[in-house]
Structure formats: structure tokens, C-alpha cells
């Protein structure tokens, strides 16, 4: 049975429409990706890039959802910072999350750097930032948990390192603290320190809220 010319033209037209539709879909997806890459609540970025993006973003502040922790009084934490590989100490961290959504704290203390046989004394490590309710927590399997509240803060650090020959060396740069607060007001997160944004170190922390304090108490000498 032969196919008429009109049928062949119709089939060709349908095939062309399908191709055009696929092209439009691909272009739409590319546009969506490019437009949303500027949204720090969607994309995963190094903390320094996320911080700069949040500073320049015109996105209005988001409200807490019903599942996220509503902070009626300041949540204060005093925790150990750890190296993820072997759980060795990397000083301590104090952290306050205030009812208005501001975040502040300090990285402080001292620790022994086993790899380089150095003793590090943290001379300064203050940081401050905010909560961002629109960012959704995802675990390693990609499963979402909309009950957790995200925050990120930035500051400057300065530490003095002493090697086995008692030679002193000052090191400093930016410190970023980011983490999640769950509905029970437990917190977990990371400290990232970097001097040039090319090389960086990441420490982890987690803890339960301690006796309430204020931001002013934390930064008093």
C-alpha cells in the first residue's frame, strides 16, 4: 500500500513540530538553569561565593514555614570544632541565633595540628550573619527536610602557629560558619577558613542549646 503525498507531508510536518518542541524545551531548561544559578537558596556554592551572591541578591527575605523552628529567645551554643577525617579538635565555637534571625559567634581556643606538628592558638575568629528560611535541607540521598533552618555567617580569623622549633607564624583570612537548626533547636554545621579562597580547611560542629545569652554578652571582653 502506497502512502499518499499528503500523508507524507503531514508526517514530515508532525516530525518538524516535535523537533521544534524539543528545541524549545531544551532552551527553556537552559534559561531556567541560568536564571536560578543566581539564587543562593537553590544552588550549592563555596561559602565565599554564596556570601557574595547573598549580599548582591535582590531576593526579598523569606518567612519561616510552619515546620521550621520559631526562635522566641536567643539560642546559645558552645561546641567543639572537629576535623572530619579523624575527629581531632580544632578549637571551639560559640554561636548565638537571635529571634530576629541574626547570627553571631566566635571561633576560639587552641589545638595541635598533627600533620605539621604545629600548635595553633586562635587569636581572633568573630563572625556574624543571618538565617535564610528559603534554603531547603537535603541529605546525601537528596531527600528533603523542610523543618530545618539554614544560616550562614562570615568573619575574620587570626591564629598564631608554633612549630617544633618554636618558630612563630601568624595566619589569617576569612572564616565562614554555616549550619542548620532543627525544630528541637539542635544545631550542626561547618566552619570553613581560607586565606585566598583557593585553599581552605573545613571543620564540623554540632550541639544542643545551652543557657540563653545575648549577642552583646558574647562579644563583651
Q: Are residues 97 and 60 in the same domain?
A: yes
Tens-digit pLDDT profile for residues 27-44: 655 555 555 567 889 888
Counts for the chain of helices (H) and strands (E), in that order: 3, 11
Confidence (pLDDT) at 113 = 83
Q: What percentage of the chain has pLDDT greater than the value 70?
A: 84
The count of structural domains within the chain is 2
Which CATH number is 209's domain given? 2.40.160
In this predicted structure, the answer to whether residue 221 has a pLDDT above a threshold of 60 is no
Other CB atoms closer than 10 Å to residue 59's CB: what's the count?
13
Dist CA 25 CA 17 (whole Å): 12
What letters, b where the CB count within 10 A reaches 16 and e where it falls short, cover 3-18? eeeeeeeeeeeeeeee
Q: Are residues 20 and 51 in the same domain?
A: no
- Determine which helix (DSSP H) or strand (DSSP E) holds 31, and give its type and residue range: helix 5-36
Dist CA 45 CA 182 (whole Å): 22
Confidence (pLDDT) at 214 = 59
Dist CA 21 CA 192 (whole Å): 45
Q: Are residues 101 and 149 in the same domain?
A: yes
**What are the DSSP calls for 47-70, one per residue?**
HHHHHHHHHH--PPPPPP-SSSPP
Q: How far is CA 22 from CA 98, 120, 140, in A?
A: 49, 58, 32
Tens-digit pLDDT profile for residues 192-210: 999 999 999 999 999 998 8
Sequence-distant (≥ 6) Cβ neighbours of residue 91 within 8 angstroms = 80, 81, 107, 108, 109, 110, 111, 120, 122, 125, 203
Q: Are residues 111 and 209 in the same domain?
A: yes
Q: Are residues 30 and 107 in the same domain?
A: no
Q: Are residues 12 and 60 in the same domain?
A: no
Contact 69, 182 (CB under 8 A): yes
Confidence (pLDDT) at 7 = 60
Domain hosting 21: range is 1-36
Is residue 42 situated within a structural domain? no
Q: Are residues 56 and 148 in the same domain?
A: yes
Sequence-distant (≥ 6) Cβ neighbours of residue 212 within 8 angstroms = 73, 74, 75, 76
Q: Are residues 6 and 61 in the same domain?
A: no
pTM: 0.78
Q: Are residues 26 and 59 in the same domain?
A: no
Is residue 220 situated within a structural domain? no
Amino acid at each position: 500500500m502506497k502512502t499518499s503525498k499528503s500523508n507524507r507531508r503531514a508526517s514530515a510536518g508532525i516530525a518538524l513540530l516535535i523537533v521544534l518542541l524539543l528545541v524549545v524545551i531544551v532552551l527553556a531548561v537552559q534559561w531556567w538553569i541560568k536564571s536560578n544559578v543566581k539564587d543562593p537558596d537553590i544552588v550549592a556554592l563555596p561559602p565565599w561565593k554564596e556570601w557574595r551572591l547573598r549580599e548582591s541578591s535582590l531576593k526579598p527575605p523569606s518567612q519561616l514555614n510552619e515546620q521550621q523552628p520559631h526562635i522566641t529567645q536567643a539560642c546559645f551554643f558552645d561546641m567543639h570544632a572537629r576535623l572530619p577525617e579523624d575527629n581531632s579538635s580544632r578549637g571551639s565555637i560559640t554561636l548565638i541565633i537571635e529571634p530576629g534571625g541574626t547570627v553571631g559567634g566566635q571561633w576560639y581556643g587552641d589545638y595541635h595540628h598533627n600533620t605539621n606538628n604545629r600548635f595553633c592558638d586562635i587569636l581572633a575568629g568573630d563572625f556574624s550573619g543571618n538565617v535564610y528560611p528559603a534554603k531547603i535541607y537535603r541529605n546525601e540521598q537528596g531527600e528533603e527536610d523542610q523543618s530545618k533552618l539554614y544560616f550562614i555567617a562570615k568573619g575574620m580569623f587570626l591564629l598564631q602557629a608554633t612549630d617544633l622549633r618554636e618558630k612563630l607564624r601568624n595566619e589569617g583570612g576569612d572564616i565562614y560558619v554555616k549550619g542548620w537548626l532543627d525544630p528541637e533547636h539542635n544545631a550542626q554545621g561547618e566552619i570553613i577558613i581560607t586565606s585566598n579562597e583557593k585553599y581552605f580547611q573545613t571543620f564540623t560542629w554540632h550541639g544542643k542549646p545551652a543557657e540563653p545569652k545575648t549577642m552583646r554578652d558574647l562579644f563583651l571582653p
